[in-house]
Amino acid sequence: MSDEAHPALRTYGRIKSRPIKPRQAALLDSLLPRIRAPQEPFDPKALAPQARACWLEIGFGGGEHMATQAARRPDVLVIGAEPFQNGVASALRHIDEQGLTNVRVQDGDARELLARLPDASVERVFVLFPDPWPKARHHKRRLIQAETVAELARVLKPGGRLRFASDVAHYVDWALERILANPAFRWRADRADDWRKRPADHVTTRYEEKRLGDCAPVFLDFERA
């Protein structure tokens, strides 16, 4: 059977909730087409020749973390993927207000973006507080699966970094097991504070502050072998 007959399971829920504010809706029409990630295979080096590195954020939510990281590092091309339209609209507002020129946006499934990236083309990947799909029958919809981990290993350069964060204890255990099952990744933690404390370069988001999970935020940092 073809892939079209059996499309990949969605790793996200709804793609729109409340009405989008007029200003943000205007940015969806004006700014997004200019900074949308290419919809065909592309090399980040060709997309931004002046950038010293390429970072990827999968599921950027409202865009606060992505925009702040891009503002801190204007020498880095930051590519973010998010299927939730309200989140994309919010991120565009942050990008517009800060005048950021080093951000590209995939307004859709991050796995499609990963498939368009060449091997060893990304230095950092952030997967922060993804949808936990808490019901057991929905665990197959979680973003972190063996196949996705393999794709992350493929696009990350040797020595590249992957950060996974969640406030759902079962998803933390799930992610740790599946990422470490891939020999390309090494967990960088030496002591408990390495996953209990927010990393120095972390940007706390509104979602994180809501504390919707069942545990304090856990941060897992991995290195690509």
Tens digit of each residue's pLDDT (9 = 90 or more) over 44-97:
999 999 999 999 999 999 999 999 999 999 999 999 999 999 999 999 999 999
Distance CA 80, CA 210 (A): 22
11 is in an annotated binding site: no
State pTM to two decimals. Answer: 0.92
Please give the helix or strand (H or E) that residue 150 lies within, else none: helix 146-155
Give me the residues paired with residue 81 across strands: 58, 106
16 is in an annotated binding site: no
pLDDT at residue 140, rounded to an integer: 94
For the segment 162-191, the average pLDDT, to the nearest whole number, is 98
β pairing state of 122-128 and 156-166: parallel
Q: Is the pLDDT of residue 122 over 60?
A: yes
CATH superfamily of 22-224: Vaccinia Virus protein VP39 (3.40.50.150)
Tens digit of each residue's pLDDT (9 = 90 or more) over 3-53:
444 456 665 555 556 789 999 999 999 999 999 999 999 999 999 999 999
82 is in an annotated binding site: yes
Distance CA 22, CA 145 (A): 37
64 is in an annotated binding site: no
β pairing state of 185-187 and 218-224: antiparallel
135 is in an annotated binding site: yes
The catalytic site residues sit at 131
